[in-house]
C-alpha cells in the first residue's frame, strides 16, 4: 500500500474523532470552541456552528477513510486510522480544558 494511503487513514481518524465533541455539544444546544470562535479554538461558537463544523469533519473524514482504503482486512491501515483517533482525542481533551467559561 502506498504511503499516502496511510496518511489518508491517519487523517481520517483525526477528522472523525473531531466530529464527536462538536456534534454532541451542537445538538445539545451548548456553545463549544471551534476554529471560528474568538479567540480561535478557545472562545465559544454557537451550537449551529458546531453542528456544521462536525458535519464538515464527517464528510472530510469519510472521504479520507475511503481514500486510505481502511478496512478490517487491511490491519496496517486500520492501526494507522486508530492512531489518528487516539492522537487527536488526547490532544482535544487537553486543549478543550482551556475553553472559556460561558
pTM greater than 0.75: yes
Return the pLDDT at 25. Answer: 95
Phi/psi of residue 31, nearest 5 degrees:
-70, 150
The residue segments making up the domain with residue 65 are: 3-98
* Cα dihedral 53/57/59/60 (nearest 10): 130
Instruction: Give the number of domains in the chain.
Output: 1
Of 25, 97, 21, which is closest to residue 58 (Cα–Cα)?
21
Per-residue pLDDT 10s for the chain (102 aa) are: 889 999 999 999 999 999 999 999 999 999 999 999 888 877 899 999 999 999 999 999 999 999 999 999 989 999 999 999 999 999 988 887 876 555
Grid coordinates 499516502 are at which residue?
4
State the CB neighbour count (10 A cutoff) for residue 24: 14
Amino acid at each position: 500500500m502506498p504511503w499516502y494511503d496511510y496518511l489518508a487513514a491517519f487523517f481520517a481518524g483525526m477528522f472523525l474523532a473531531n466530529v464527536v465533541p462538536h456534534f454532541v455539544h451542537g445538538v445539545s444546544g451548548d456553545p463549544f470552541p471551534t476554529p471560528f470562535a474568538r479567540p480561535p479554538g478557545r472562545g465559544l461558537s454557537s451550537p449551529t456552528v458546531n453542528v456544521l463544523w462536525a458535519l464538515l469533519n464527517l464528510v472530510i473524514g469519510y472521504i479520507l477513510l475511503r481514500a486510505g482504503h481502511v478496512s478490517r482486512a487491511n490491519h496496517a491501515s486500520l492501526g494507522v486510522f486508530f492512531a489518528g483517533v487516539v492522537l487527536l482525542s488526547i490532544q482535544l481533551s487537553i486543549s478543550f480544558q482551556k475553553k472559556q467559561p460561558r
